[in-house]
Amino acid sequence: MRKVDTTIKYVEPDSAADDAGIEEGDILVSVNGHEIHDILEYRYLTAEYEVTLEIKKKNGTTEIITVENDYEDVGLEFTEGLIDEAQSCTNKCIFCFIDQLPKGMRETVYFKDDDTRLSFLQGNYVTLTNLSDEEIDRLIEMRVSPINISVHATEPDLRCMMLSNRFAGKCYEIMKKFAQNGIFMNCQIVLCPEINDGEHLRRTLDDLAALYPNVNSVSVVPVGLTRYRDGLYPIKPFTSMSSMETVEFVGKIQDEFLEKLGTRLVYLSDEFYLNAGVPIPAADAYEGFPQLENGVGLIASMKEEFDAAIGMIKKKKRSRRVSIATGEIAYDFINGLAKKIQNMFEGVSVTVYAIKNNFFGGGVNVSGLVCGSDIIDALRGVIDTDTLLIPHSMLRDDDNIFLDDVTVRDVENALNVKVLPVLNDGYEFVEKVLGEELEF
């Protein structure tokens, strides 16, 4: 049984909880007479105008407090953010990226999250393999939606094999239950050549389309393979040819879905188009970018924003020299944006460097997995500007730390530059390159 901790860490000043005299260190015993199992249940039960809280005070006494919260947050934060401990992954996926990490990294990097609550709160993708029937019913009762699901395959035997979990074949049945109860889902497929592609992919996409509109979107991303795969399941990398075959195969399915459902529903990650050497679809082909947080449509979105941003900048002479570090696969795109800025704005010089990923090796060439040591090794004695822009996706969460535990400060000291992380946002890209804010 998982540990539940409802000790209060923080009380928002002037909130309903603060006005009621609730303090840090107090313990929340129940809400409206119900014990709390996790943060979702807490939020669900406190989403009322009048809420009754049972509080165990630091001195050991118990108080029953009724607050009016105006349908806003009561104002409590807990020692354990989820109240319950985070659920870890019980699978041994044949493509798991964490299993391909080198030894000796920070312990938290190796934690395999598979928590449905984080799927709702933070957009994480989960496999649904560690949910009991009771937990599934509770999610439905609380109307937790949307849920982001790592599907990979809907054929039970194939999914069990890919996740190395005999319970993994229940996923589609759970999804049908969610759909029947009005829960919306976004789905992800990690595509592995000759394993879940071809007709297996066709079946998976048809099954997911059958749950539309409750299945709101589906992303297809290529398997990421590092050089640390000794003893792991043999998986082939995507080549230029197999990427092109996937682009054409999924493109036909998108056309079918668009005619039948009024939406393409499924979207390929940018890597497929870049590896195939074909143009990225236009922004409107992504239908509002429902999978942008999963890296799908980043280039189209950024180009659309970039084109709008440069039209907002005054054409005046500047004196600005910056460098940009990016992954190998995005180099041509980022370099194209840099050249466009240089041609439009006199006095601006931008040098773009494609950083080879030696830390992970293998076929890893995306910007988000470039490590600090890779940047230092590639640019030491080479970079000749005072400012280096990097994609914010290279850094872990909200920390200024790369995946190899090198910090932004480490890179700055090694290269004697100021490092500026840039979001995957065309507006911010223009602002950081030119060193001035846009006026909206």
C-alpha span between 19 and 12 (Å, rounded): 10
Provide the sign of the torsion angle of the four alpha carbons 263, 264, 270, 274, taken in this order. Answer: negative
Does 380 have pLDDT greater than 60?
yes
Q: Choose among 145, 262, 144, 251: nearest CA to 205.
A: 251
Tell me the two tokens of residue 267. Answer: 């979207």
Taking residues 124-148, report their average pLDDT.
89
Does 51 have pLDDT greater than 70?
yes
DSSP per-residue letters across 251-290: HHHHHHHHHHHSS--EEE-HHHHHHHT-PPPPGGGGTT-T
Give pTM, 2 decimals. 0.84
C-alpha span between 304 and 293 (Å, rounded): 16
Tell me the two tokens of residue 430. Answer: 């223009």
Does 128 have pLDDT greater than 70?
yes
C-alpha span between 107 and 120 (Å, rounded): 25
Q: Which of the residue ranges 55-59, 129-133, 351-355 has the most confident prediction, judged by mean pLDDT?
A: 351-355
The DSSP secondary-structure symbol of 233 reads P
- Which of the pair, 402 or 41, is modelled with greater confidence? 402
User: Which residue segments constitute the domains of the chain, with CATH numbers given?
Assistant: 8-78 (2.30.42.10), 98-295 (3.80.30), 303-434 (3.40.50)
pLDDT at 118: 61
C-alpha span between 197 and 203 (Å, rounded): 10
Listed in order, strand segments (DSSP E) in 70-167 are 76-78, 147-150
Does 225 have pLDDT greater than 90?
yes
Q: Please, which residues have CB within 8 angstroms of residue 275's CB and are 6 or more apart in sequence?
A: 222, 238, 239, 240, 243, 329
pLDDT in tens, 228-237: 999 999 999 9
Tell me the two tokens of residue 36. Answer: 């709390």
Kindly list the strands in the beta sheet with 147-150, ordered across the sheet, starting from the edge strand earlier in the chain. 147-150, 185-191, 215-222, 266-268
User: Exposure of 279 by Cβ count < 10 A (0-12 exposed, 13-18 middle, 19+ buried)?
Assistant: exposed
pLDDT at 398: 67
- Which of the pair, 87 or 257, is modelled with greater confidence? 257
Q: Choose among 434, 430, 389, 427: nearest CA to 408.
A: 389
The answer to whether 42 and 63 have CB atoms below 8 angstroms apart is no
The answer to whether 220 and 270 have CB atoms below 8 angstroms apart is no
Cis peptide before 290 (omega within 30 of 0): no
- Dihedral of the alpha carbons of 187, 275, 371, 378, in degrees to the nearest 10: -170
pLDDT at 117: 63
